[in-house]
Amino acid sequence: MLVYGIICLLFAAVVNADCPAGFIQDQYSCYKLFNNTFTWPEATSFCRAFNTHLLTLENDAELTFIKKKAAEVGGLGFWTAGSDALEENEWIWAETGETLTLTGDWAPGEPDQTLGKDCLGLWGAHGYLFGSWGCNALLQPICEISIEEALSFG
């Protein structure tokens, strides 16, 4: 049994070996969910200071993983890189310019098309479903870096 435990610990260390210290890995990216709260522009700068970017969700599996981790950390909500600041109700990922495709994951009454609610967060009170927030709201950032990028920073 002791040998099995040691093997599991070694495997866990190898699985996260490609991510920066303190980050968690899932599929092709590394993530860090912070307790600090920032406005969306501040959160963007905060992540960039770590050579990362705000979370950009690419598929349902990634969203499921992030919602589970967000629930473990807790809080009012987490910032993502989503924004409709360029055109109202046309949500894009600021990091890539790609259109948000996970449209079935909005909290009730969302997206709120009130002017000024241009930044996308995961809303804690609704199980970390999408919510449109004013960009000056104070939420926690989720910083992301691809494993490929993380390895290049070594």
Every domain of the chain and the residues it spans: 37-152
b/e string for 14-25 if b means 16 or more Cβ within 10 A? eeeebbbeebeb
Cα separation, 100 vs 93, in Å, equals 6
Quick check: 133 and 111 in contact, CB under 8 A? no
CATH C-level class of 37-152: alpha beta
The per-residue pLDDT for 16 is 57
- Name the phi and psi angles at 103, rounded to 5: -80, -10
Number of neighbouring beta carbons within 10 Å of residue 80: 28
The per-residue pLDDT for 104 is 84
Predicted confidence (pLDDT) per residue in 46-88, tens digit: 999 999 999 999 999 999 999 999 999 999 999 999 999 999 9
Q: Which residue has the higher pLDDT, 11 or 88?
A: 88
Predicted confidence (pLDDT) per residue in 97-146, tens digit: 999 998 889 999 999 888 889 999 999 999 999 999 999 999 999 999 99
